[in-house]
Structure 1
Amino acid sequence: MSTSLVLALLWLVTANVIAMFPSKDHHWRNAYMLIGLGVPLLGLVFWQNGVWVALLVLLAAMSVLRWPVIYLVKWVKGLVNKA
C-alpha cells in the first residue's frame, strides 16, 4: 500500500475519532482543519494511485465531512438560482 493511502486512512481514522468527542462549535473548527489537511492529501493520492482510487478516498472523506458538503451544495444551488 502506498504512503498516500496510509496517510489517507490515518486521516479518516483521525476524523472519526474527532467526531466522537463533544464540541461547542459542532466540529466546524475541526472540519476546517481536516479539509485543509485533506485536500493536499487527496492530490497526493491522485498523483500516486490514479483517479479511481482518489475518487474512492474523496467519497470516504465526503461521508465523514457530510455537513460541509451539504452546505457547499446549498451555496452552489443558491448561486446558480441567482444567475
Structure 2
Amino acid sequence: MMSLVAALIWLVVANVTGMLPSKDYHWRNAYRLIAVGLPLLVWLIYENGPWWGLVFAVAAGSVLRWPLRYLWRWVRARVGA
C-alpha cells in the first residue's frame, strides 16, 4: 500500500515539476525523476504485482515522454534499424 502512495506522490511531483520553468528544458529534473522512479517501480511491482507496475510505468512514460523518445532513437541507432 505504501508503494502505491509513493507512486502517486511521484506522479504529482513529476507533473508539478513539468509545469515549472526550467533553463535546461527539464533534463536535470528528468534524470532525478528517473533515478527515483525506477526503484519505486521495482518496489511497486514487488508489493502490488505487475499490473500496478505496468499502470505506473505507462503513467511515468507519459510524464517522461521526451527522455523515452531519445532513448528509443538511441537504441534504434545502435541496433541499426
Q: Do the two structures share a fold, i.e. TM-score over 0.5?
A: yes
List structure 1 segments (4+ residues) > 4 angstroms apart after TM superposition.
Answer: none
- Aligned partner of 1:41 in structure 2 is 40
Matched, 1:78 2:38: no
* Unaligned ranges ≥5, structure 2: none
TM-score, normalised to structure 2, is: 0.97
Aligned length: 81
Question: Could you tell me the percent identity over the aligned residues?
Answer: 56
What one-letter code is carried by the residue in structure 1 that aligns with 2:54?
Answer: L
Report the alpha carbon displacement of residue 52 of structure 1 after superposing the two structures with TM.
Answer: 1.0
SS of 1:69's partner is: helix
Report the alpha carbon displacement of residue 48 of structure 1 after superposing the two structures with TM.
Answer: 0.3
- Aligned partner of 1:65 in structure 2 is 64
- Aligned-residue CA RMSD (Å): 0.9
Distance 1:51 1:15 in 2: 22
- Aligned partner of 1:26 in structure 2 is 25
Report the alpha carbon displacement of residue 28 of structure 1 after superposing the two structures with TM.
Answer: 0.2
What one-letter code is carried by the residue in structure 2 that aligns with 1:27?
Answer: H
